[in-house]
Structures are given as C-alpha cells and as structure tokens.
Homo-oligomer: A and B are copies of this chain.
Amino acid sequence: MPKLAQRMYDMEGTASIIRALFSAMGSPDMISFGGGAPASEGLPVEEVREICSEVLTRERRGVEALQYGSVLGVPDLRQAVADTLLKPKGIDASSDEIIIVNGGLETMNLMCQLYIDPGDVILVESPTFVHCVEIFEMFQAKCVAVECDDKGMVVEDVERKIKELHPKFVYVIPTFQNPTGKTLPEDRRRRLAEQGSEYDVIILEDDPYQELRYSGKALRPIKYYDKTGNTVYANSFSKIFSPGSRLGFCYAGRDMIARLFDAKTATNSHTSNLVQVVCAEYFNRGLFPEHLKKVCDIHRERRDVMMDCLAKYMPEGTKWVYPDGGLFTWVELPGGIDTGALLPEANANKLHYIAGAGFFVEGNGKGSNCMRVSFGNVTPEKIEKGIERLGALIKSKL
C-alpha cells in the first residue's frame, strides 16, 4: 500500500487513545463510567416516532427529508437555533450565520480546514477533551496546554501564551467541561472574548453541555462578550435531542460561514436532511422545553447519587469536582495510584472509567492519579453499585 500521509503518523498517539475509548463502549455487563453518552432513558424516542409519522409524507416534509438539501442546513432548524438556543443567552443571531453540522465535533474539523496549517498552535485546557485533540493533531496542529485552576483556564496564562506562541485558536469548553465538569466564571469568559479580539486569535468555544444545568445560575457564553467575530460558537444537539442523530451547529460571522460552506461541501456536502427535518419539528412543535426539563431531572438525580456515593465509598484524601451540570466529574486519587495501570483490574471487576493522563496534552504522567467519571448513562442503582466496587478496589491498593 502507498505510504500514509504524514498527518496519520502525527495523530497516531491520540488516535490509539480514542480507539480504546470507543472499544470499551457498550459491553452490556460492564458498569461503565467511561462514555460521554447522555441517559438512554431520556432520549426522545416517542417524540421522534410521532414526528416521523406525521411529517414524512409527500404532502408535508417527506421529499425535503429525503432529497438533497442546502449546504448550510434546513432553514427552520437554523432559525430554531437562533430563536430557541441563542436568543435566551442574549445572543441575537441571524439564521444565515449558522451552519448545521454532523455532530458537534464536526465544527472543530471544519474550523481546522479553514485555519490550520501544519505546525500552527492551538491552546487547550489542561486537561482537555482528548477527542478534539485527535482532530487538531490530524491537522498537524501543535496543542499547547494552558494552566487551569479549579475554575478552568487561567486567563493570564492564556495571554502569556498568546504573546509567546501566536496560536490560531484557543479551544475551550467553558461549561461543565469535558473531562472535569468545571465551569468558567463570567469574568474569565469576558476576558477570553476580549483576548480573541485584542490579539486576533479565534476563541473556539465548544459548549455542548450548557443546557444540562442542574444547579447554580446560568452563565452567558463567551460568544456573548465577543465584539469582533473572533469567538466562534460550536454546539451540539447530542445532549438536548439525540447523540445518534449526529447534529450540531456552528454560529459565526457571515464571512466565516461562507468559508465553512466550502469546507463542508468538500467534506460531506451537507448534514442528513432526514434528521434535520425531525429535529426542526421537535423545536417547532415546542417539545424542547419540556423534554429538556425531563433530561435535566434524570441527570440531576444521577449527579446527586454520584456525589453521595463518592463521599460514601471513596477513600480519604480523594478529591472530586461538584459539577453544576453536564455528564462528568473528575476524580483525583490519593496515594499515587495510577488510574491507567489500575484500569485492567477495574475492567476485570466489570467497571470502566477513563484514565486521566490521556486528557493532558503536556504528557509527563500528568493526571495519572485522575479519572473522568461519567454519570450520564448509568442508572442511580448502577452508580451506587459501581462506585462502591470502585472505592473498594482503590482502597485495596492503598
């Protein structure tokens, strides 16, 4: 076979982490805190079936759903994004500043197509979402970690590194961050947007969890504070509608949307019209608010049970994040326990989590005593059983 492109070698390390991540999904007898899926019990199965039954006729939206569509997406879904998802956050968007993409991550891929030449720098959180690092590395970007504290990115370090490294992007998940569950406070959000404008850097804001808030006060997106178009807002329908539909959106300035149009046509032409039409109807029929409440109720209970169980079963000296929303908490173990080394034994005990070290682009064993623990798609009963078992395993190693 011909030689692979250089990017495939550059991404190999992270790709191997992603392969492991996917391969551990879905073994049925495993209690898995590993995946990033929301509760299957909260998926709008009945709503989707009803929508399909009603609108997939020749008289209604059947042909639109099955014929080729527009590159930027189905118009009323883009309008729903503007009206239902952005306006309540103080963002006054026009539907022609929105492109519908194939899942939230595709925005990162397309933005790299637009801006990343090999060797370009992207600043990321420490730790950050490893799946996006895989995308950045496929584009041969150099990912550099920004110092983070218990509130997220330290903006003074962002500024220092912008001046020193001239990055193209600052990639940030400000709300209920993946993997830590932390939320960036308002003053830092404002400052990040300003830094994007001052230094002409793109703040790539990835905000898929922000509707899943179970406690505390909602914050404005970084994009709200952006006055120059340097912040690009990426979001997903995975957590508020359905992950398997692979629907996301990007809100950016018109010039950038025009370029995203080009990259999208050269990637896969457009996102599936069938799922776009179904999702548009989900918003048009006003199903979203009630469904979101149901989804938040399910996940709030799981978050609470997770917090209680960590306190009850984990050994003394363990620390974890109390997430006000989202799907994850981040657990730091005492006694120098290596969560990567422990994983095979955990798996043998029918338990799964994601070892922490893979989320740090700086390497050097950072985070090797940490783990990402998801409560999204684990029932309260299994959370209790699983964390009890995990606590016992860890205690046996101390």
Contacts and interface: CB of A to CB of B under 8 A. Distances in A.
Interface in A1-31: 1-8, 11, 15, 18-19, 22, 25-26
A246 interface: yes
A68 B37 contact: yes
B1 A256 contact: yes
Contact of A274 (B4, B101, B245, B265): B245
B48 A63 contact: no
Interface string A252-278: 000110010111011111111111001
A-side interface size class: 35 or more
Interface stretch (A39-47, A86-94, A352-360): A39-47
A53 interface: yes
A105 B269 contact: yes
A228 B57 CA distance: 46
A62 interface: yes
A143 to B, nearest CB: 13
- Best-buried of A56, A58, A230 by chain B (most CB within 10 Å): A56
A138 B263 contact: yes
Interface stretch (A113-121, A310-318, A380-388): A113-121
Contacts of A35: 68
Contact of A135 (B1, B114, B266): B266
A336 to B, nearest CB: 32
A66 interface: yes
Interface in A263-308: 263, 265-275, 278
Given A49-B53, A103-B269, 13 more contacts: A5-B120, A18-B265, A52-B56, A67-B243, A67-B244, A67-B377, A68-B238, A106-B267, A109-B268, A245-B274, A246-B268, A272-B275, A274-B274
5 contacts: A2-B202, A26-B70, A40-B63, A45-B63, A109-B267
